[in-house]
Amino acid sequence: MRLSIEELERRMDDLRADMRRAAAAGHSDLVRDLRVELRGLEGEWDKALAGLARERPARTAGPSGPTPAASLLPLREQVHHALTLLTVPAAPRLIVAVHQAFFGASIPNARLTSLRRDEEKSFRSAPFARPYYLCPALTADRLAPSRGLLSVSTWPLVDRLVGPLSPRVHFLVSAIKIAEAIERAPEYVPEAVRLLARFAANIPGGGDGREPGTVASAARAELVIHEETDRIAREKAAKRTQRLTDVQRLFGVRLEAVSLVEDAG
Amino acid sequence: MTDVEERLRRIRGGGEGKRHNARTISALTSNPGCTRRAVADLAGVDKLALSRHVGFPGQFGQSPFAITRGQQFEAQVKADGCAELITLLREHLMLSLPEVSYEDLNDVGGNTDNRLRHLETRNKLGRRDEPGTLFDHPMLTLDVAGRQVFLEPDLIAFQVKGKFHIVEIKSFAVIDGQADGAKVAAAAIQSAVYVLALRDLVTAQGMSPDDVSHNVILVTPKDFSNRPMVTFVDVRKQLTVLRRQLSRLTRVEELLDLVPDGLSLSLDNDPHDVTFDLGSIEARYMPQCLNTCELARFCRHEAQGSTYAMGRTVTEELGGVQTVTDVLDLARGVLPPTPEQAEAAALLRLAWSIRRESLGNAA
């Protein structure tokens, strides 16, 4: 995908702002990574500018920048792509695997850890400045950020909640979505099939994963059992979220510095 | 602060103490007669640093590679809502399809305070209207020598048909149905600690201790692959041992009576003084200690020349004979045996004569 020069400029501005924030917070690793990304964009921008100057119909110029190893897109967009495919909150491991399988580019796992913090910082400094934020899924019982599950802020809140049955529901829905994506794909994607095989092995009647249709229907069969109970639990929890602030609704309620709870033993 | 706590603080040399965990408890029960270890553990002494301080530096514990491997395997088994574990449990325990609920007890709303997590564990496990199925990292407590110890088990407690099971995920391989005996034994005694703690918890919630199964579910890699497999380990024997040893672990006050007043194992003191103080607490070294106790090298050095340093079998054969010099003297017939040494002495003299006949004076 080739970005227009305006889009590139906007991205570069975003990146610079992110770098400033990261530097202020002392995340030197993140600054370095972002700088690499920025240099890539600047190179792209130079090329786009040269294209504009040379001739007006520059659109015919072939793709020049992105290599398959690392995507040109900002990290958050890559994560957004993977989550949009899955449609349910997912752990970084799965996000990395899905992105690798379907979008071909690898996401450095280490950077995902700082992503969540950066998103929250960005939201706190300028609420709703971005079209979406990557935020943790929330636990249904305490509306606290769940450990390691990422979701997208634009999803309905009830879909971002995690009840006791949700991990299994997420697993089955992910399997269905991955199977569907494989069926949609114009060509055979070996990495995606391998990913699906891992799912298939743990779904009753899922087969060996070579038949996306079989996996999807097996997953749907089991999903029917859990879906209803899970949804009721999450909807019940969602009712309690109305009193939350915007930050809490996106990034969860933290239970910090508790005055020692009386032991009710 | 009570007197006992003050004394333990002095022994430790100030600062926060190290906590007991399932490993230290199972180690404690493997050598319950060792006052030195009991005192050091109760006071929360950093035994590894202490061992270094008195001149016995050395590696102890799992290698970082083994720990990483263990964590990776655990993460794999628990990935995607415990997908692999659920498959195994469905296969081996006839877990029905709707039973997949998963409660993460690693933190309470982002807070990892032990007491809070313990409360949360009690609430979630004790719930009867919607009994859960899988509980990740519950926080249990156990009474050890009069003090409450938090156990942060590396496992999942699992409930099926009203009965709880302990699931222990270990990364040592079971090859063709066989595993390293020592590792299985260590896993069994550790799991027994958790079973005991979980029984305490359910009893406090008004349930029967029999609601916790004595069959522990051991999840290990199968053969040379990364695929998990399930083995059932009956820990009834370990439970009996553990219960007996824990009750024998004398209460804190009685233990402290065995220790001279003013004793301190503080790392700020001169190593000579610490060595002297350490020596004044009675120890019982056995070769197995090398696997389970950070102070083992110090104790081995100290125990040189005594018969019990050679292990349990030798000690039992030579009942009543304390030192190697005595053993040799008894064998040569230089030392008249006391009545309780008579049996061992006869055996030793026989061995000595056989040796002389076969080797002459060659050795």
Comparing A143-147, A208-212, B154-158, which segment has the lowest mean pLDDT?
Answer: B154-158
Residue numbers in A near B109 (CB within 8 A): 139, 142, 144, 253-255
Q: Are residues A110 and A160 in the same domain?
A: yes
Instruction: Give the best-scoring range by mean pLDDT among A168-177, A232-241, B1-10, B173-182.
Output: A168-177
Alpha carbon of B227: minimum distance to chain A alpha carbons (Å): 11
Q: Are residues A20 and A70 in the same domain?
A: no
- CA distances B108 to A256, B120, B139, Å, are 10, 7, 11
Which residues neighbour A168 within 8 Å (Cβ) at sequence distance 6 or greater? A226, B81, B86, B100, B101, B102
* CA atoms within 13 A of residue B265's CA, in its CB half-sphere: 31
The answer to whether residue A63 scores a pLDDT higher than 80 is no
Out of A168, A254, A255, name the one closest to residue B100 (CB): A168
The answer to whether residue B27 scores a pLDDT higher than 80 is no
**Separation of alpha carbons B81 and B100, rounded Å:** 9
Q: Are residues A195 and A241 in the same domain?
A: yes
Out of B81, B107, B111, name the one closest to residue A167 (CB): B81
Domain assignment present for residue A74? The answer is yes
Comparing A158-167, B23-32, B163-172, which segment has the lowest mean pLDDT?
Answer: B23-32
**Separation of alpha carbons B353 and B363, rounded Å:** 13
pLDDT for B112-166, tens place per residue?
A: 888 889 988 888 887 777 778 889 999 999 887 677 888 877 777 777 877 889 9
**Separation of alpha carbons A82 and B304, rounded Å:** 64
Q: Are residues A245 and A225 in the same domain?
A: yes
Helix-helix angle B181-204:B236-248, to 10 degrees:
70
pLDDT of residue A66: 40
Domain assignment present for residue A9? The answer is yes
- CA distances A251 to A139, A238, B242, B325, Å, are 11, 14, 45, 72
Q: Which residues pair with residue B219 across a beta bridge? A: B169, B230
In chain B, the percentage of residues whose pLDDT exceeds 90 is 16
Q: Where are the beta strands (DSSP E) in B283-323?
A: none
Strand B228-234 relative to strand A161-162: parallel, antiparallel, unpaired?
unpaired
pLDDT of residue A259: 45
Residue numbers in B near A146 (CB within 8 A): 104
Q: Are residues A135 and A223 in the same domain?
A: yes
CA-nearest residue to A256 within chain B is B111
Q: Hey, what are B112's tokens?
A: 């990892």
Which string of b and e fits B191-225 if b means at least 16 CB within 10 Å? bbbbbbbbbbbbeeeebeeeebbbbbbbbbbbeee
Interchain pair A260, B115: CB under 8 A: yes
At residue A203 the predicted structure's pLDDT band, cuts being 50, 70 and 90, is: very high
Alpha carbon of B106: minimum distance to chain A alpha carbons (Å): 9
pLDDT of residue B126: 79
**Separation of alpha carbons B114 and A168, rounded Å:** 28
**Separation of alpha carbons B234 and B213, rounded Å:** 9
Alpha carbon of A163: minimum distance to chain B alpha carbons (Å): 8
Q: Hey, what are B171's tokens?
A: 């990364």
Domain assignment present for residue A61? The answer is no
Q: Are residues A48 and A172 in the same domain?
A: no
Out of B84, B116, B122, name the one closest to residue A202 (CB): B84
Out of A165, A171, A252, name the one closest to residue B101 (CB): A165
Which DSSP symbol is given to A88? S
Interchain pair B81, A168: CB under 8 A: yes
Q: Are residues A6 and A47 in the same domain?
A: yes
For chain A, give the mean pLDDT: 83
Q: How many CB pairs below 8 Å do chains A and B form together?
A: 85
For chain B, give the mean pLDDT: 85
Neighbours of A41 (CB within 10 A): 21
CA-nearest residue to B206 within chain A is A265
User: Residues for chain B: how many in total?
Assistant: 363
At residue A55 the predicted structure's pLDDT band, cuts being 50, 70 and 90, is: low
**Separation of alpha carbons B258 and B253, rounded Å:** 9
Q: Are residues A78 and A50 in the same domain?
A: no
Q: Hey, what are B252's tokens?
A: 């804190």
Tell me phi and psi for residue B152, to 5 degrees: -105, 85
Domain assignment present for residue A60? The answer is no
| One-letter amino acid of A228 | E
End-to-end CA distance of chain B: 62
Q: Are residues A89 and A153 in the same domain?
A: yes
In chain A, the percentage of residues whose pLDDT exceeds 70 is 87
Domain assignment present for residue A172? The answer is yes
The answer to whether residue A7 scores a pLDDT higher than 90 is no
User: Residues for chain A: how many in total?
Assistant: 265
Among B135, B146, B159, B143, which Cα is nearest to B196's?
Answer: B143
Interface mutation vs chain A, best among B82, B100, B111, B205, most A CBs within 10 Å:
B100
Among A153, A152, A147, which Cα is nearest to A167's?
Answer: A147
The answer to whether residue B36 scores a pLDDT higher than 70 is yes
At residue B249 the predicted structure's pLDDT band, cuts being 50, 70 and 90, is: low
**Separation of alpha carbons B191 and A256, rounded Å:** 32
Q: Are residues A8 and A126 in the same domain?
A: no
Comparing A53-57, A208-212, B272-276, B352-356, which segment has the lowest mean pLDDT?
Answer: A53-57
Q: What is the CA radius of gyration of chain A?
A: 21
For A58, the enclosing helix (H) or strand (E) is: none
Interchain pair B115, A202: CB under 8 A: no
Domain range for A51 is: 1-55
pLDDT of residue A221: 94
Q: Which residues pair with residue B306 across a beta bridge? A: B323
pLDDT of residue A62: 40
pLDDT for B95-125, tens place per residue?
A: 888 888 898 888 887 788 888 899 888 888 8
Domain assignment present for residue A175? The answer is yes
Interchain pair A202, B87: CB under 8 A: yes
The answer to whether residue B250 scores a pLDDT higher than 80 is no
At which of A36, A55, A74 does a domain end? A55
Domain assignment present for residue A183? The answer is yes
Alpha carbon of A176: minimum distance to chain B alpha carbons (Å): 14
pLDDT of residue B95: 87
Quote ipTM for the complex.
0.76
**Separation of alpha carbons A139 and A253, rounded Å:** 10
Interchain pair A147, B113: CB under 8 A: no
Angle (CA) B162-B165-B170 rounded to 5° is: 160
Comparing A225-239, A249-263, B129-143, B279-293, which segment has the lowest mean pLDDT?
Answer: A249-263
Comparing A48-57, A249-258, B119-128, which segment has the lowest mean pLDDT?
Answer: A48-57
**Separation of alpha carbons B294 and B49, rounded Å:** 9
Q: Are residues A133 and A170 in the same domain?
A: yes
CA-nearest residue to B91 within chain A is A204
At which of A55, A76, A93 does a domain end? A55
Helix (H, G, I), strand (E, B) or coil at B153: coil
Q: Hey, what are B195's tokens?
A: 């079973």
**Separation of alpha carbons A216 and A180, rounded Å:** 8
At residue A263 the predicted structure's pLDDT band, cuts being 50, 70 and 90, is: very low
At residue B359 the predicted structure's pLDDT band, cuts being 50, 70 and 90, is: confident
Q: How many domains does chain A have?
A: 2
Residue numbers in A near B98 (CB within 8 A): 225-226, 229
Alpha carbon of A225: minimum distance to chain B alpha carbons (Å): 6
At residue A108 the predicted structure's pLDDT band, cuts being 50, 70 and 90, is: confident
Q: Are residues A230 and A127 in the same domain?
A: yes
pLDDT of residue B92: 87
